[in-house]
Amino acid sequence: MQTYILLVNFTDQGMRNIKDTIGRADAFKAMAEKSGAIIKVLCWTIGRYDVIAVFEAADDESATALAFSSSSLGNVRSEILRAFSFEEMSRILGRMV
């Protein structure tokens, strides 16, 4: 499994329905489970992003499909980042020429 970070901002629709954010988070977790992803961290934040999720998925396509599925509901816009562990970064650096 690979690790991903999802940076999320509420849309106008998402803000109008902010009281539903906990229920939407539960729906996101269920959506992730159906797609084979595992949510490791889900936090509401202040600052540039409204929500940050850290999750694991089998590959980039699975992770992107989850992000698209979530955003397609209209409550959020998201940006996805591939994250590398210490061990993965060590292997990457070891392959440098």
- Give the tens place of pLDDT for each residue, 43-66: 999 999 999 999 999 999 999 999
- Bridge-partner residues for 56, per DSSP? 3, 38
Mean pLDDT score of the chain: 96
Instruction: For residue 89, give the CATH number of its domain.
Output: 3.30.70.1060
Domain count, the chain: 1
Would you say 94 and 25 are in contact if contact means Cβ atoms under 8 Å apart? Answer: no
pLDDT classification of 9: cutoffs 50, 70, 90? very high
pTM of the model: 0.91
If one compares 35 and 8, the residue with the highest pLDDT of the two is 8
| Residues 81, 18, 42, 38, CA torsion sign | negative
User: What pLDDT shows up at residue 77?
Assistant: 97
Which range marks the domain in which residue 52 is found?
A: 2-94
Which tens digit of pLDDT belongs to each residue from 25-46? 999 999 999 999 999 999 999 9
